[in-house]
Copies of this chain bind each other. A is one copy, B any other.
């Protein structure tokens, strides 16, 4: 197996050994800001309290609210002059979260990202088109630096503008793209409208992340372009992209455990759940100097995939993100994740490219409507067939989420399209 760096092939023992060493160093580093020093002191954790990886659980969680309370630079653990980059969330819904990086942090991040790309076969001979927004959002600069580190010809195309994306990809024979799954479909449609077959497009690998999508959706975009799509996981609190990535097996995302300690806990109790059970991902950075973060509650729901990966890498795998604790909506007293609905409807061959969940109140109670685009070739069938399909989808959804939605079949391309993150849920119920 050709690997980007030695750590990619470390054994479990070597990983665990390194984690312990780096966790101790990270704890020492984190004490350089008063927030962590006070919090660790309160928890009775001194510089020498961590003797084994099990001691990690004695460290208090860090929440998004904690990060907000320390905005802008409360969590800085180096002199400000050591910082070379700041990324932050938009802060449109409150105080932003800002993460500051030293040059070493930026280099380590680029190395991890390059390792992800190398793992799925991206090489310096590839032409890489980054269709992500740049600026404060980490998906742009994060993957850009990784691709340049790997030595790919990197085209900083930015998001949207399908006509230009297609022109650039054709002119430079782009083989690898960083793209939103929903945007991959839009690009494919665009090519077909131009009378071209997306399978003739030079793309062979897509790096996809940032928005949740199902296995069925992945197969669809893979077939559309005759390419492989690999899932990427990252969050700005842990740098951005480069935290977890699928290998060629496409069976779970390896989390780089030389750089992070992942845990999965019950979102209510904070207690660890057994391997294979769904819970909230909790992450500790191990290599960050500027702003180390301990046991961060990501709000992302996933599970560890038990057992070793066929690829031979010992870095543990997590399942794709199964939802966000915050994306969950409650209807008729039941917790529902949009991903559950997508997983059901995308198993139907008649279903097209888009769907929309509408939450309404009809005066008596809450109603969930699910609008589903149907492919042209099926939409022309007789009324009876469509009504029957509608009924079957509603039943299957009921089996999954325990609530019966009103399913509406609509023509393909009739639901609103966005070039950014797809909007899957519209909650039109009056706020109480």
Complex: A135 Cα to B164 Cα, angstroms: 13
Question: How many chain A residues have a CB neighbour from B under 8 Å?
Answer: 41
| CB atoms of A81 and B156 under 8 A apart | no
Nearest CB on B from A309, distance (A): 30
Q: Is A324 an interface residue (CB 8 A)?
A: no
Q: With A134-B134, A167-B91 as given contacts, are A84 and B156 in contact (CB-CB < 8 Å)?
A: no
Complex: A147 Cα to B85 Cα, angstroms: 9
| CB atoms of A84 and B148 under 8 A apart | yes
Complex: A171 Cα to B136 Cα, angstroms: 15
| CB atoms of B84 and A154 under 8 A apart | yes
Complex: A316 Cα to B7 Cα, angstroms: 50
User: 1/0 per residue A118-141: CB within 8 Å of B?
Assistant: 000000110100000011100011
Q: With A135-B134, A135-B158, A172-B86 as given contacts, are A153 and B80 in contact (CB-CB < 8 Å)?
A: yes
| CB atoms of A103 and B148 under 8 A apart | yes
Complex: A72 Cα to B87 Cα, angstroms: 33
Q: Is A191 an interface residue (CB 8 A)?
A: no
| CB atoms of B125 and A80 under 8 A apart | yes
Q: With A134-B134, A148-B103 as given contacts, are A153 and B84 in contact (CB-CB < 8 Å)?
A: yes
Looking at chain A's contact residues, the main secondary structure is mixed
Q: Which residues of B contact A134 (CB under 8 A)?
A: 134-135, 140-141, 156, 158
Q: Which residues of B contact A148 (CB under 8 A)?
A: 84-85, 103, 106
List residues of A (138-196) whose CB comes within 8 Å of B's CBs.
Answer: 140-141, 144, 147-148, 151-158, 164, 167-168, 171-172
| CB atoms of B157 and A136 under 8 A apart | yes
Across the interface, name the chain B residue whose C-beta is closest to A80: B153
Q: Is A390 an interface residue (CB 8 A)?
A: no
Nearest CB on B from A134, distance (A): 3
Q: Which residues of B contact A84 (CB under 8 A)?
A: 147-148, 151-154
Q: Is A217 an interface residue (CB 8 A)?
A: no
Q: Which residues of B contact A172 (CB under 8 A)?
A: 72-73, 86, 98
- Of B83, B127, B136, B154, the contact of A158 (CB 8 Å cutoff): B136
Q: Is A71 an interface residue (CB 8 A)?
A: yes
* 11 CB < 8 A contacts A-B: A72-B172, A81-B124, A84-B153, A85-B153, A85-B154, A86-B172, A98-B172, A100-B153, A103-B148, A135-B158, A136-B157
